[in-house]
Structure 1
């Protein structure tokens, strides 16, 4: 299996910095609560220092500019990290869903970078981040089917199933992590100026948590235009 962004996306967004991690041996009964607590505390401390508004963070500003360039209203369609930060600011916590999702959500908060988690058993062939043709199928978490708009950025597999819509705005319920999920692909994407160093740190944090809490050894990479693909 191969994960990559299309050449057209690299052309249009050369500042893109993707981080990718592959792990086997995921189990739902593992607790990652201590790591989640530490990451949420880091988020709360940054919020207290900076006044609490996620819209002022360079990571979020970069995604807002990108969404605007794609013809999306940034205050109507937000990247996943901004949505999580807004909820965390208002409620002071996030609901617990699955230990791996909880970990990735907490990491997304701490770094203000969108982090997606995909169940590899639900993906057919390769996974590309690319512009949609408009005939792909996207399944919501409620089980409804949608068609992405032509030109919309999606995560698409070889079966022409869209596993995310509007780039980092919304994942699909089809490949969401479940109780029985055992193998995952984690994808984080950033576009701000200091993204390369922060993405490497984010990959290290996730790798350490998977080694400590799940006792698995993942493999990861930070992709570049010169090395744009991640091979499993």
Structure 2
């Protein structure tokens, strides 16, 4: 089992399975791990970033339908490729952008930061508590036997993914279903999280320079919010 205490060493264990690469050869993940984070409720820093992201999204939404944005359209195609229906289970960035017109959710300072970057840069971006990870992060196509910990009716529940579904997983089970649709309860960020991993998902319409810019924006936001944070990152192509 990979040790998560050494951020750079852990990042080296993150993989994209060849079956996912076959599905979308243009896929890349920028994985950013950080420790020394300051968790807590939403604050002035996260509010400024969310407000700016809402304004950015509203500006392009005024003349471009959500589903016609090139990167979001590519993600809809990716979801369809493994059998998901993007009208029912939307890629995470699309779901957030659709909420930008009426106001993004305010969750907690760490979640707010990555949601703001996701909307401003129009890419799926998830954050998880690294202390609750078990081994390396792996993007695979599910067999249908993997465990996904979630809630139903406010109570803990366990689901199993559809065979062929693209999922992030670790040694204990699935950490995020349908590529970037829903995160599990076990590794979700909380107001006590001090070590986290953030996964920025990119397909062809979002080039490497734009992906790097999104990563820089997230890193800057984390350091502004948590000046003593120590980040590390790795671009994973699955080659």
Q: Give TM-score, length-normalised by structure 2.
A: 0.86
Deviates more, 1:59-68 or 1:150-159: 150-159
Farther-moved stretch of structure 1 (161-170 vs 36-45): 36-45
Query: Which residue number in structure 1 is paired with residue 189 of structure 2?
Result: 177
Q: 1:29 to 1:170 in 2, by over 3 A?
A: closer
- Once the two structures are TM-superposed, the CA of residue 167 in structure 1 deviates from its matched residue by 1.1
Equivalent-residue separation in structure 1 for 2:105 and 2:19 (angstroms):
37
What secondary structure is seen at the aligned counterpart in 2 of 1:11? helix
After superposition, the C-alpha distances for 1:104-137 in whole angstroms (9 at most, x for unaligned) are 1111111121101011111101110101121111
Helix, strand or coil at the partner of 1:203: helix
1:17 to 6, 18, 28: 28
Q: Secondary structure of 2:135's match?
A: coil
What SS class does the counterpart of residue 218 from structure 1 fall into? strand
Partner SS for 2:14: strand
Runs of 5+ consecutive residues of structure 1 not aligned to the other structure: 227-232
Contact 1:199/1:222 (<8 A) preserved: no
Among 110, 113, 117, the residue aligned to 2:120: 110
* Partner Cα distance (1:26, 1:96) in 2: 18
Residue 61 of structure 2: aligned partner: 47
Query: In 2, distance between residues paired with 1:35 and 1:94?
Result: 11
CA contact (8 A) 2:28 2:235 kept: yes
Using the TM superposition, give the Cα deviation of residue 192 of structure 1 relative to its aligned residue in structure 2, in angstroms.
Answer: 3.0
Tell me whether 1:128 sits opposite 2:128 in the alignment.
Answer: no
- Which runs of 5 or more structure 2 residues have no equivalent in the other structure? 1-9
SS at 1:173 equivalent:
coil
Query: TM (normalized to structure 1)?
Result: 0.89
Aligned-pair Cα RMSD in Å: 1.6
Superposition deviation, residue 225 in structure 1: 4.0
8 A contact 1:210–1:217 mirrored in 2: no
